[in-house]
Structure 1
């Protein structure tokens, strides 16, 4: 994965939305991954919302990114987790 670095100005705060089945511990998964790559992220910024059917949960979190490789590492690890259905 390669981000278009010219569209980003580092450091920056970016809101990520991560979706997965409600049966998975999505907040724990997101906290683990984001905490590994951006340990100073604000855990109080995490919000959750269930889909209309209740089948999926979306977790939104604000992350302060300092460089391109950090963004790529977060998205790659989220993408590799089978519990994560989609990341925006």
Structure 2
């Protein structure tokens, strides 16, 4: 069964991104900076460090208004130099 994400969501809604990248203190600020461009607001991302302190996992929940906004944020977050994966 193939279902598109926009068929499963009712907009506006809250959507959580998980960004994984190199453990650098700048990464959370860079993620918030990108999110602010497309969905201004107050954000408190949750940062988790890997067991060997090499990577950070950042979870950030935002209110999205359409599927284009979701897709744009995926692309923009993935383009950050420190980011390795965006889920």
**Alignment of structure 1 residues 9-28 onto 2, 5 Å:** 9-23=10-24, 25-28=26-29
CA distance in 2, matches of 1:79, 1:7: 23
Alignment match, 2:62: 63
Q: Over alpha carbons, which structure has the higher Rg? A: 2
When normalised by structure 1's length, the TM-score is 0.86
Runs of 4+ aligned residues of structure 1 deviating over 6 Å after TM superposition are none
Kindly report the root-mean-square deviation, in angstroms, between the aligned alpha carbons of the 2 structures: 1.4
Gaps of 5+ in 2: none
Unaligned runs of 5+ in 1: none
Q: CA deviation at 1:80?
A: 1.7
CA distance in 1, matches of 2:38, 2:24: 25
TM-score (normalizing by structure 2): 0.87
